[in-house]
Structure 1
């Protein structure tokens, strides 16, 4: 009898757990449904040229439906001077993707600096480079950007959708480095980085101008803009309200677009597998944290130049050398370019 009593108790526990999981799943499904309804329900009944399109297989390799056009957005005065990493990213796009056009969408009258000159003097690049004047939107569906700290980034989020809706093509953040040709992803309606257990990333977007996600994503801002939430409208809401329900709208790329944090591998390791990526988000505005653990020849990415990048001992040097033609003369050697801080043990931070 004791055996049966124990068995019954175990069965009841299993049953209770199963009911609990089912209940939680129902709540999640209801939550997903409610968010979806917030996102303009009339859109869900629309049909268009991509209705039924297979974004798992895409079209045959010879049927590339996304134009081979690259878009960068460079807004505000602080983007007027082209940094060394800015130039590396543009050169990588030019040499590794071989696009028909590269657009720089900007509100600047001109760009400056030796790195801009390097770009203009690169054979063939100037011929396909288009500097397009454009202004940032000040509202979205009559909703104002009330958070001054987020304005530039939130309005740029909207601008990238508008650009892709107008032109289609490949959108890149200003620190997204193309490692090898993205042509295989041009056979899909839209391809983006969407790593496991995460929201999709906006650092690299490959899309036909009529891609369904683009119009749903844009529409999701209507009455839903949250000015104080950094990534809500750019990635969190559209992932939950659209792609959880309709993942077939996109070709999902996990890890190979390199939007996960690779700063340690790029800047402190002889990481050879960087060539296996299709793109890498360098996170150039966020490398200064490495100074807490290593004595590096820079404080932030603005300190990189032709000299220290050429002598850099880790993966970033190879990324630079792959796309940047150095002057013939030998640069001065950079001695003791990187050492561990004396009070730190190897692996102190990175193994935790």
Structure 2
């Protein structure tokens, strides 16, 4: 019975996608072309534009590493020669940490290094690509570190490594415990791993469905930054931290009372409570990293939200049923569509073809 229900559900989903595509194609034909003023101010998307080529279409097509880390602890992989040119180091490699920090440090407390944590992910999805590409093209980081226990691959990974020359793989296993407390949920393992990443390297942590919309450089002057998702919590989907920041160390130490049965407490409620106790150690943004929030995903999936005041947006892909690609996203008349076009084409408006 479960298999029948699953097949029936998948069939309905496919029919929904086909009907949506037909409706979108008809609606696209009926849209007029935008004037320049409409392109600037339009958030209901009642007109269309001629979109430029995607950024990555004109990006470098040969791997040319931005810098050379001189440590002799570079790890070998069994991948194809092209993809294996993405360097890989162990998370605990002190030489790698020191070399990277030296190469990527500037006058700001938070180094321009971006971190992702990919546990159990083998193939890069469209939304993974969109997130990483948004940081690459908008933040222009010195390095993008992919922390994980698997070798991510696939067509989109191949496309990414051809265009982004600052990728580094960081091999690490999901943490199994913290301060003697066993961690069972993979989400909680990732919560701990992201704190360890920004604590030990410094930089910017991004969830794999967090999309950057404008540069974070104005916030790199603070030792530590989080944003509200709700008034009573702070989101950990985007974290900015100097290396060994006081706030991240205090937050990490609070995991001594970690209870795996309580969802989200140490990842969102604890940092909010700590921000009330230690306001001098943290800069708090008012929902500029997460807006709309988890309870209003319809504004992302079904409507058009004006995100011009956001630094970033969380797409909450785990609640989204549809798949997208570089073609259909050009005509998607939702916040999801405008965000993807902004990242891929530098133009949020609906494409004419």
Which of the five TM-score ranges fits, normalised by the shorter chain? 0.5 to 0.7
> Residue 66 of structure 1 contacts residue 206 of structure 1 at CA under 8 Å; is this kept in 2?
yes
What SS is found at the alignment partner of 2:344?
Answer: coil
Q: What's the offset of the Cα at 1:194?
A: 2.4
What SS is found at the alignment partner of 2:146?
Answer: strand
Larger radius of gyration: 1
Q: What's the offset of the Cα at 1:68?
A: 0.3
What SS is found at the alignment partner of 2:284?
Answer: strand
RMSD between aligned residues: 2.2
Determine which of 100, 116, 120 is the counterpart of 2:142: 100
Q: What is the aligned partner in structure 2 of residue 203 from structure 1? A: 237
> Residue 220 of structure 1 contacts residue 238 of structure 1 at CA under 8 Å; is this kept in 2?
no
Taking the aligned partners of 2:186 and 2:114, their CA distance within structure 1 comes to 21
Q: What's the offset of the Cα at 1:244?
A: 2.1
> Residue 195 of structure 1 contacts residue 253 of structure 1 at CA under 8 Å; is this kept in 2?
no
User: Would you say 1:246 and 2:278 are equivalent positions?
Assistant: yes
Determine which of 111, 117, 123 is the counterpart of 1:81: 123
Gaps of 5+ in 1: 1-61, 288-299, 334-352
Taking the aligned partners of 2:213 and 2:271, their CA distance within structure 1 comes to 27
Q: What is the aligned partner in structure 1 of residue 154 from structure 2? A: 113
Gaps of 5+ in 2: 1-105
Q: What's the offset of the Cα at 1:195?
A: 4.9
Taking the aligned partners of 1:235 and 1:256, their CA distance within structure 2 comes to 16
Q: What's the offset of the Cα at 1:325?
A: 5.7
Deviations 1:224-259 (A, max 9, x none): 11010111121223432x222112211010021125
Q: What's the offset of the Cα at 1:314?
A: 2.2
Q: What is the aligned partner in structure 2 of residue 307 from structure 1? A: 327
Q: What is the aligned partner in structure 1 of residue 304 from structure 2? A: 270
**TM-score, length of structure 1 as denominator length:** 0.64
1:1-352 counterparts in 2 under 5 A?
63-76=107-120, 79-108=121-150, 110-122=151-163, 125=164, 127-145=165-183, 148=184, 151-195=185-229, 197-222=231-256, 224-240=257-273, 242-259=274-291, 260-261=293-294, 263-271=297-305, 273-287=306-320, 300-301=321-322, 303-324=323-344
> Residue 235 of structure 2 contacts residue 290 of structure 2 at CA under 8 Å; is this kept in 1?
no
Taking the aligned partners of 1:183 and 1:129, their CA distance within structure 2 comes to 20
Taking the aligned partners of 2:229 and 2:342, their CA distance within structure 1 comes to 27
- 4+ runs deviating over 3 angstroms: none
> Residue 229 of structure 2 contacts residue 289 of structure 2 at CA under 8 Å; is this kept in 1?
no
**TM-score, length of structure 2 as denominator length:** 0.64
> Residue 216 of structure 2 contacts residue 311 of structure 2 at CA under 8 Å; is this kept in 1?
yes
> Residue 122 of structure 2 contacts residue 152 of structure 2 at CA under 8 Å; is this kept in 1?
yes
What SS is found at the alignment partner of 1:187?
Answer: coil
